[in-house]
Structure 1
Amino acid sequence: MTSLSRQLSAIGNNLNQIARALNAGNHAPVSQVLKDVQAANSETRALLRNLRP
């Protein structure tokens, strides 16, 4: 697995953990959930920028 694939997989895992926690009724403050999602979004964008020539 390449470094990029591992990083994308880690981001996906983080988002899945957020979704599982929310679905299980473990509600974090909305501000924290938004921060986590924004962080994952930023990481994804950075990885995508590295793919473009």
Structure 2
Amino acid sequence: MKPPPGQCRQCWTHAYDKSIHRRLKPGQDCGPCLDHLHNGCPPEGKAPKKQSSWW
């Protein structure tokens, strides 16, 4: 799945791909999700935005 422009690839994938969190036990937190929650998304992890073309 490809995230929409400007969205973090990891956050988008973890939100919409159920197989990633299926392996976690009940009540267990996902390490990469917690890392993004506390530290934010890295700029290089975001899908590129479309160039504005009205100029």
Q: Under a length normalisation based on structure 2, what TM-score does the superposition of the two structures give?
A: 0.38
Which structure has greater helix proportion?
1
Q: Under a length normalisation based on structure 1, what TM-score does the superposition of the two structures give?
A: 0.39
Which of structures 1 and 2 has the bigger CA Rg? 2
